[in-house]
Structure formats: structure tokens, C-alpha cells
Amino acid sequence: MVLSLGIILILLGILVFALRGFFGVFPDNWEWVGIVLAGVGLLMGVPSTLQMMMGRPKLILDFDRIEKGEGRTLAIFLKNPQLGNPQSGKKSIWRKLGFKRETIESLTASFCIVEIGTRKVMTQPIMHARIYSDDDPTDVGNNRIALPPTLSFETCVMIAMWNDAKKKAIVPGDRNRPSVELSASIYQIEAIFIVDGEPQKEFRRFVVGNTADDLIWVKPTPRKKGSQT
């Protein structure tokens, strides 16, 4: 609160000296009234503008593998991070000023999988994914969720799981499409997330082998400086 008041006073001082430079002399009494009213209006709008800029929702993805006993599942974990780095134990300057990360009000996920060698599309035309959250007691997932700011990855989308009986990876089906079996090969997924109406795409390759441990994400190759794609 004290820090916010100090910033407001500094901004008022800057405004006064800027106007003095514009007019050449200090304004008279009536001009002061207009300046104060304009300054108050400006300063009232600054916090909301900064909140819109700094507190916008931000979707971060983490491609990882879930391991439970002999089971292996490729998943994309989702997070809307808090401002700054709360794990450091210190508040960022923005959080001290009262700004915070806003909640993603509407999040949906879908994806398309293509086999690299044959370019065959395995999920025609696109698969709608269910989103699973740690706070969902039913553990059945939802087609659409809200994602508040969190410290850790507590939400995920399951892409492919190993079926030991069939010796294949299985892509879960959605409401209109059955599950899809993936034989040993290299695949690429195009994941599409709709974040409050705005699309966010991510491409990643993964490998399906002959055993559960062969089901892995392929780490993206770092781009060399100055290279062109």
C-alpha cells in the first residue's frame, strides 16, 4: 500500500513538471483544478491498465510421462502460473503492488496425430481431449475447464497410454470417435488449446516402441543461433 502511494505521488510529480514545461510557467488556480482532475483520472486508470497487461492468463505446457506400476501414459500437463516466482519465498514487485494472475475462464483441448514416416493422419479429423484435474473427485475429466493460477502442474491431457495386451499405444477416444491404436513408429502431435477464445498450438514428436518403456516424448532440438527453418 505504501509502495503504491509512493508511485502515485511520483507520477503526480512527473505530471506537474511535464505540464510546467508545456506551459512555461506554473498554472494558475483554475488550471490547477483541471490538472488535478486529469491526474486523478490518469492515475485511476493506471492500475487497471497494468493489471490487464501483467495479469493476463498464461498457459504453460509440460510434456511428461505418467508412470504407475507397469503402466505408461504420455500426457501434457497444464499450468496458469502465478506472477513472479512464489517458490523463491519472495514476492515479485508486481505482487507487492497488488497485481495478480487472472484465471483462464475457458480452456479446451484437441489434437491431431500424424505418423512421421507415412504422413498418415491417425486421428481423423481431430480428437477432442478430456482435461483431468487433481481437484476432480470423479476423475473422469471434462471437455472444458477454468484454470486458476497455481504453483504446480495440477491439470493434464492424456494423449496415449500403453496397452500391454495389444503391445500398442492407445489414444483415448472422444464423444464421437473411438480410441485409436498406434503401432511402433514415430508420431507428431499438433495440440490445440483454446484459451478464453484464443488458440494456442504446440507441436511435439513421440515414439511408440515394442514395450511400455519405449513410449516416450521426443525432446525438441534446440534451435541453433542464426539458423532458419
Phi, psi dihedral angles at 192 (to 5 degrees): -125, 120
> Looking up cell 495478480, which residue turns up?
100
Helix (H, G, I), strand (E, B) or coil at 45: helix
Q: Give residue-wise pLDDT tens across range 49-85.
A: 555 556 688 999 999 999 998 899 999 999 998 876 6
Cis geometry, peptide bond prior to residue 125 (ω within 30 degrees of 0)? yes
Nearest Cα to 75, choosing from 132, 113, 146?
132
Going by pLDDT thresholds of 50, 70 and 90, the confidence category of residue 15 is: low
What is the tens place of the pLDDT at every residue in 82-105?
876 655 555 565 555 566 888 999
Global pTM reads 0.72
Supply the pLDDT for residue 174.
Answer: 82
What pLDDT score was predicted for residue 50?
A: 55
On whether the CB atoms of residues 14 and 43 are closer than 8 A, the answer is: no
CB 48 within 8 A of CB 99: no
Q: Which amino acid is at 219?
A: K
Residue with cell 519472495: 90
pLDDT at position 134 is: 83
Q: What is the CA radius of gyration of the chain?
A: 26
Can you read off the three cell numbers belonging to residue 148?
Answer: 486458476
Q: How far is CA 109 from CA 116, 175, 207, 214, in A?
A: 22, 14, 21, 25
- Amino acid occupying residue 210: N
What residues pair up with 202 in beta bridges, in sequence order? 191
The closest of 116, 127, 200 to 160, measured between CA atoms, is 127
Q: Are 129 and 155 in contact (CB under 8 A)?
A: no
Q: Where are the beta strands (DSSP E) in 23-130?
A: 60-68, 71-79, 104-115, 127-129
Start-to-end C-alpha separation, the chain: 49
More confident residue, 125 or 95: 125
Q: What is the mean pLDDT of residues 106-132?
A: 92
Name residue 111's amino acid.
F
List pLDDT tens digits, range 159-206.
999 999 999 999 998 878 889 999 999 999 999 999 999 999 999 999
